[in-house]
Chains A and B, each alone.
Chain A
Amino acid sequence: MWTGTENRRVLFTGLYNQSFDYVYSYVFARTAGNRQLTEEIVQETYAAAWLSLSSFRHQSSCRTWLCSIAKNKLRESYRKAIRREKLEMPDGPVPEDLPDGADLEALAFSRETGRYVLRVLEEMNPLYRCVLIMKYMDAMRVKEIAKALGRSPKAVDGILQRAKGDFRTAYLKLEGRDRNEQG
């Protein structure tokens, strides 16, 4: 329990300095490199942590605690983006002729890979982007994503298949273009 405001401030300052870079990077990747949105979410995360500092029980590391807050803030922002752009989640069948992604397996990773991924994600439909991030960065199951977005697992599965196809096409195009420019 923190009795004085000063104690609270000291504890928070330590926690902030210790975790800021980690939390910033965590949010940065999950907003597809959007600096403005990252700043907003990081601020909301620390504001929530500051206001509920006494509930932090030290049972987990402060990074884990802060990332769980950030995760909730990110989900809120995904839901807002989907609502704002009035994006529909079709319940229809998934097209069968989507690219299978086998060519992604053969890709060589370079220092630029992460940057390409962020660029492709940033340019994608926000709905596809958030589903891909939740599925592949956060390793969430389809059921969990559906619950987080308030949709049916079937709809999320369809979106995921389409998102993978779009991502693959855009990524290979960007990577190929860059390679040609360098070559």
Chain B
Amino acid sequence: MNKDKAMQRLLRSADIPAIPPKGVRERIFDRVISMEIKPALSPVEKFFFTNPLRAACAIAVPATGLLWAATGGNFIGLLSGLIH
């Protein structure tokens, strides 16, 4: 354990303040600040656009229920009515 502590002490001695070369601070700042920020999606937009399949499933279930209710629980009757 002491050997590990000696190694730790030695490696941590390198964790000291470093002086950045002249101009680095300004250069990084300018590059970062010029990056474009994309507007974040709202929860509704995320729901539709990040996983469209999930949205499609969520819409399909109530739509099926509505159709089911509108046809009186008789899809076959609706289909045959449409055909004739």
Contact = CB atoms under 8 A, between A and B. Distances in A.
A102 B3 contact: yes
B14 A117 contact: yes
Contact of B14 (A16, A29, A50, A107): A29
A121 B2 CA distance: 21
B37 A51 contact: yes
B28 interface: yes
Mostly, the B contact residues are helix
A65 interface: no
Contacts of A79: none
Nearest 10 interchain pairs by C-beta:
A28-B18, A136-B11, A117-B14, A105-B6, A101-B3, A104-B6, A114-B14, A25-B18, A29-B15, A113-B13
A137 B12 contact: yes
A105 B32 CA distance: 44
Interface residues of B, number: 28
Contact of B17 (A8, A9, A25, A105): A25
Interface stretch (B19-27, B49-57, B63-71, B73-81): B19-27
Interface stretch (A35-43, A68-76, A82-90, A148-156): A35-43
Contacts of B18: 24-25, 28-29, 33, 38
Contacts of A26: 15
B16 interface: yes
A69 to B, nearest CB: 12
A107 to B, nearest CB: 7
A9 B28 CA distance: 14
A20 interface: yes
A104 B2 CA distance: 10
A167 B10 CA distance: 11
Given A47-B35, A104-B7, A136-B11, 7 more contacts: A20-B25, A39-B28, A50-B37, A100-B3, A117-B10, A118-B14, A136-B7
B6 A46 contact: no
